[in-house]
Structure 1
């Protein structure tokens, strides 16, 4: 599976003005202002990188010049100057994860990039990689735990750790680590993918449950959790496609594509249930009509489709059912961004079972709005 040469015109990366339908700068401001937890900083940094320095992001035309992570002046990269103050350089992990294994790793790509010119930050990224791979508990199938004290799998982990591990693998020319990263995505799928075949919602097969573990157990089909998983695997797929050493790994690329497609297919096929008709937004829990439609999961999942339309156009590209569906979701998001740049109603990011719509701004939800804008801009250029 080869990456199509869509990006030959470098003008794409002079921030082509594409009207997504809302003021992205205001959404960015809210994401920066509201973020206060480890994974929120990491997600905001990724969103800023994709929006303001797309040539440096994993979705850029050549993220690994000469097969290596680029040397950059972090002071001139919006994402890196934003996140650098939050990175710990004297700790086992990059930031306090409050018991989470994966969340500190969400800052890992930034640490590796800064570390190309400041070894202190690369050393910090190396310790983070070691902690995730060699210290964190493992589940029965060898999947790395999201929690440090007991094996638990959270769909969120797939956005936090695997993209970092894949990027670190490129930085260290470690093909074994990249293969392990892809394997971890599959091991998470093995446990978290819901068995819908014996239910009345067989058409939603492919969707993931949120949390499986002895202490925390939330088997609901959380829209944001499915977004975390699909978006994380999309970043790993892009890494595998664009690193010259792994560009020929067709079987692995096909597996990642399949796993992402399963999630999107399950949500699409279940649209009669998963989409709340009055808002056009995906429900917080995709198979439960009692739940309101909300912006966070909707924005992240639709951003995945635009990214996949570029990475795997023969399946997800222009004219496909996926783009038609994503366009409907994007337009629903546009209708739910207020004059201050707040996406709402969102789910309470710290309480996924709170049935009161969150209207003051979800930090991660704001970053998802930025990720959607960047993905739509890049796809729109190709349309």
Structure 2
């Protein structure tokens, strides 16, 4: 499998461009042990930090939280190198989230700066960095606020977009990759919280367990899921399987989740492994650049690496 991981990594490095792509790729490199490569991507995120503090920005980027996915890798680069420039860049990113970024009425970070909207993607983009930067209470608060606005209480899964201006869902669908972002993001926050926040950690783990339980009934015989989890008329999608497998493997290894989930996770992993082509592309993920069709995407590559690292560690 190491040869496959190397090919998937190489393909990922050829694809990453946007701020969240750089951030998720960097995190995958960190967790897979590619420390020097992670520092290279983190350095470039600092090079492309804008005046607001957002990391890895290209052009007229409207995303608020996506840039924060680079924050953890930039902190990692500081710890690896001792370069104060990286520490200061991470502090500017945190300051933007804490003091300048637009928010909803309940205090949730808006996903974009031209509309007041919360996207499920933000579970992964901002709270893990806030926790890694030491802003533990803020990280947990953002998870709670995202959950308040996006959770479909009947389905126990998350809608894609809440529009706070319209006070309704911009997209109510339980998008598979979006729920994967939520599961993976909450796992990362939970593992970063200090022992003094045991109750918060256990609550977040409960949210992950609840989400996994809600998603698993929609797992197909082949181990995969549909793009919208409860809409079998949408295309069969690869990445949510990788994301949920990552959350399950991580949670079981930490002693947080029951080992009975491993059968499902192993089926997800095997199905995803079968989707890697001769060039290292993970096929059949929710595809760039519009994420409305089956294709390839940086996060599809990154979560293959994250899944494999979590399974093998």
Relative to the length of structure 2, the TM-score reads 0.91
Q: How many Å apart are 1:102 and its aligned residue?
A: 0.7
Instruction: Measure the CA separation in 2 of the matches of 1:102 and 1:232.
Output: 13
The 4+ residue runs of structure 1 with deviation greater than 4 A are none
Task: State whether residues 242 and 272 of structure 2, in contact with CA within 8 Å, keep that contact through their aligned partners in structure 1.
Answer: yes
**Residue 131 (structure 2) pairs with residue 166 (structure 1):** yes
Task: State whether residues 282 and 295 of structure 1, in contact with CA within 8 Å, keep that contact through their aligned partners in structure 2.
Answer: yes
Q: How many Å apart are 1:304 and its aligned residue?
A: 0.8
* 2:20 match: 39
Task: State whether residues 174 and 230 of structure 2, in contact with CA within 8 Å, keep that contact through their aligned partners in structure 1.
Answer: yes
Which digits, 9 at most, give the CA deviation of each residue in 1:78-121, with x for residues without a partner? 31123312323563222226111111111101222333412222
1:261-276 matched pairs, under 5 angstroms: 261-268=209-216, 271=217, 274-276=218-220
Task: State whether residues 206 and 262 of structure 1, in contact with CA within 8 Å, keep that contact through their aligned partners in structure 2.
Answer: yes
1:15-54 matched pairs, under 5 angstroms: 19=1, 23-52=4-33
Q: How many Å apart are 1:149 and its aligned residue?
A: 2.7
Which digits, 9 at most, give the CA deviation of each residue in 1:224-266, with x for residues without a partner? 10111110111111101xxxxx213221111110111111110
Q: What SS does the corresponding residue of 2:153 show, helix, strand or coil?
A: coil
Relative to the length of structure 1, the TM-score reads 0.75
**Could you say what the CA RMSD is over the residues aligned between the two structures, in angstroms?**
1.9
Instruction: Measure the CA separation in 2 of the matches of 1:94 and 1:187.
Output: 23
Task: State whether residues 18 and 56 of structure 2, in contact with CA within 8 Å, keep that contact through their aligned partners in structure 1.
Answer: no
* 2:51 match: 91
Greater helix share, structure number: 2
Instruction: Measure the CA separation in 2 of the matches of 1:276 and 1:247.
Output: 38
Aligned residues: 304
Instruction: Measure the CA separation in 2 of the matches of 1:95 and 1:137.
Output: 19
**Residue 109 (structure 2) pairs with residue 144 (structure 1):** yes
The higher radius of gyration belongs to: 1
Instruction: Measure the CA separation in 1 of the matches of 2:83 and 2:170.
Output: 41
Instruction: Measure the CA separation in 1 of the matches of 2:50 and 2:196.
Output: 38
Equivalent of residue 101 in structure 1, options 57, 64, 68? 64
* 2:285 match: 346
Q: How many Å apart are 1:316 and its aligned residue?
A: 2.7
**Residue 286 (structure 2) pairs with residue 305 (structure 1):** no
* 1:285 match: 228
1:200-219 matched pairs, under 5 angstroms: 205-213=155-163, 214=165, 217-219=170-172
**Residue 198 (structure 2) pairs with residue 247 (structure 1):** no
Unaligned 5+ segments in structure 1 are 1-18, 54-75, 170-176, 197-204, 241-245, 379-383
Q: What SS does the corresponding residue of 1:217 show, helix, strand or coil?
A: strand
Which digits, 9 at most, give the CA deviation of each residue in 1:270-307, with x for residues without a partner? x2xx2344x43111100101012211111111111000
Task: State whether residues 276 and 292 of structure 1, in contact with CA within 8 Å, keep that contact through their aligned partners in structure 2.
Answer: no
Unaligned 5+ segments in structure 2 are none
Instruction: Measure the CA separation in 2 of the matches of 1:289 and 1:238.
Output: 33
Instruction: Measure the CA separation in 1 of the matches of 2:125 and 2:103.
Output: 16
Task: State whether residues 51 and 370 of structure 1, in contact with CA within 8 Å, keep that contact through their aligned partners in structure 2.
Answer: yes
Task: State whether residues 110 and 118 of structure 2, in contact with CA within 8 Å, keep that contact through their aligned partners in structure 1.
Answer: yes
Task: State whether residues 91 and 124 of structure 1, in contact with CA within 8 Å, keep that contact through their aligned partners in structure 2.
Answer: no
Equivalent of residue 307 in structure 2, options 369, 372, 383? 372
Instruction: Measure the CA separation in 2 of the matches of 1:227 and 1:36.
Output: 21
